[in-house]
Structure 1
Amino acid sequence: MMRKKVWTSFAEAVADIHDGATLMVGGFGLVGIPENLISALAERGVKNLTVISNNCGVDDWGLGILLRNRQISRIVASYVGENKEFERQALSGEVEVQLLPQGTLAEKIRAGGAGIPAFYTPAGIGTPLEEGREQRVFGGKAYLLEESLTADFSLIRSAIADRAGNLAYNRTARNFNPLMAAAGRVTIAETESLLDDGYLDPEHVHTPGIYVQGLIIGKQQKRIEKLTVSHPEGGRSL
């Protein structure tokens, strides 16, 4: 089985990402994000990026760093989240934002990875999302046409990888990562650990290596997006 390229520095891993590139970035909140690849992009200073992601991190971590540095010009997401700078830039028109229903976003990415150019969905019917959009009726029910999404680069995060590029994710950190791995023309996987010998058990592979162009090992800080603690008198406090 062919071995994938393994980078030794994050700067080298993102060296081909150019100004104006479209990126898919895995994660849900701060869970399963390729945080070291994102930080390397921030250091490199690449500009005018279109980012497709569930949300845009928090103000000082994840994609929030690129947003703060004005490196992102357009965001396709389903959730503004806990990022006040994202909210501010969106409301002021400093960044172009396309918000989608989360299921629609996931299916647009999945379809892109499967080579399906478009599909119909009932999500958005009867809302402002349907304005100016093509509709069809199937079985007496209206559906909106949605085009699929692909990207120049997909940056994803796995728990473990082998040198053939096969990946496995840890629980909810799987989230958008497998879909995005398939939908990127070039997929760069940041992984917690890399098998030196042998391959992942095929039954445990979440992303086949055919979708992955390169790997890099990176430890995570595993920050908490929104800390919730127990109150001594019961209930929760923030």
Structure 2
Amino acid sequence: MINKVITADEAVAGVKDGMTIMVGGFLGTGSPEILMDALVRKGVKHLTVIGNDGGLAEGQPANGPGKTPRGIGKLLEHHMVDHIIASHLGVNPRLNEQFADGTLTYTLVPQGTLAEKIRAANYGLGGVLTPTGLGTPMETEKDELGREKKTVVIDGKKFLFERPLHADYAFCRASLCDRFGNFMSAKATKNYNYVMAGAADHVVVATEKLVEIGSVDPDIFAVSGVMVNDVVEGEPKWQI
């Protein structure tokens, strides 16, 4: 029987400087904190990070107990990110400080478009069509990876063609996961975790609760373990 459970440090061992990673969650809610901690310990640099936002910085009231950085905010705190692709960047002051001093760049992508671009990579689609961005610089500027933009007319309606967004690693958080990697995320912690699992060469899930294969009703799981390479147990309970 396949057992994909490893330690957090083992799970990030293959991450190298300059790689592109995806991180699930929304302002820390649903982010895999033990995997972010492991990346900080590893000390990789010059990452391109794909996520909804820049996480939370140290001391922000929304952080809850301890007010430590959360999610992608941990990577920003240690200046590990060169470029971030996200839809919401106004909360974490570290991100804006690093942008101002020229050590970080970012690409803003509308939230629905960002999710669909990731989903396209997950499901092997050639891209998605959306009216969002028409008549704005998004229609003519290159995308977040420097690719030319295109427009398509269907039944007399114009759409912007958005290409898939893929990463080297996707780091996701589960509330419940079995040893094969079948997992589910409770309530608001679903944010981006389901869509990112499968949109990268290597998918790691950090789970709050680990169960044996076959010990729970499989209908509980939202994502199949075939999408997951590694499972790490010990993710702290949802605190935000």
Please indicate, yes or no, whether the TM-score normalized by the shorter chain is above 0.5.
Answer: yes
Point out the structure with max Rg over C-alpha: 1
Task: Report what 1:19 is aligned to.
Answer: 17
Letter in 1 for 2:167: A
Q: Deviations over 1:80-104 (max 9, x none)?
A: 0420111222244321211100000
| TM-score, normalization by structure 2 | 0.87
Gaps of 5+ in 1: 225-238
The alpha-carbon deviation at position 199 of structure 1 amounts to 4.3
Aligned: 1:145 with 2:161: yes
Q: Following the alignment from structure 2 to structure 1, what is the Cα–Cα distance between the partners of residues 234 and 27?
A: 19
What secondary structure, in the 3-state scheme, does the structure 2 residue paired with 1:178 have? helix
Percent of pairs with identical residues: 40
Number of corresponding residues: 222
User: Superposition pairs for residues 87-236 of structure 1, below 5 Å?
Assistant: 87-132=96-141, 133-196=149-212, 198-220=214-236, 222-224=238-240
Tell me the amino acid that sits aligned with residue 64 of structure 1.
G
Residue number in structure 2 paired with 1:59: 57
In 1: Cα distance, 2:201 partner to 2:227 partner: 9
Tell me if structure 1 keeps the 8 A contact 2:33–2:235.
no
Q: Is the 8 A contact 1:29 1:81 kept in 2?
A: no
1:140: Cα distance to partner?
2.1
Letter of the 1:205 partner, please give it.
F
Listed one character per residue, the Cα deviations across residues 20-41 of structure 1 (whole Å, up to 9, x for unaligned) are 1110100011111001100110
Look up the match of 1:49.
47
Asked if the contact 1:4/1:213 (under 8 Å) is kept, the reply is no
> For residue 232 of structure 1, what is the aligned residue in structure 2?
none
| Residue 221 of structure 1, CA deviation | 5.9
Tell me how large the CA RMSD over aligned residues is: 1.5
Maintained 8 Å contact 2:52/2:86: yes
> Contact 1:161–1:200 at 8 Å: present in 2 too?
no
Distance 2:215 2:84 in 1: 36
Residues of 1 paired with 2:2 and 2:206: CA distance?
A: 16
Structure 1 residue aligned with 2:2: 3
SS at match of 1:113: helix
Equivalent pair of 1:163/1:199 in contact (CA under 8 Å): no
Q: CA deviation at 1:218?
A: 1.8
Q: Residue 189 of structure 1 aligns to a residue in which SS?
A: strand
**1:200 CA drift (Å):** 3.8
One-letter identity of the residue aligned with 2:161: L
Q: Distance in 2 between matches of 1:71 and 1:192?
A: 26
SS of residue in 1 equivalent to 2:28? coil
Q: Does 1:73 align with 2:72?
A: no
CA distance, structure 1, for counterparts of residue 217 and residue 166 of structure 2: 29
Partner of 1:230: none
- The residue type paired with residue 56 of structure 2 is V
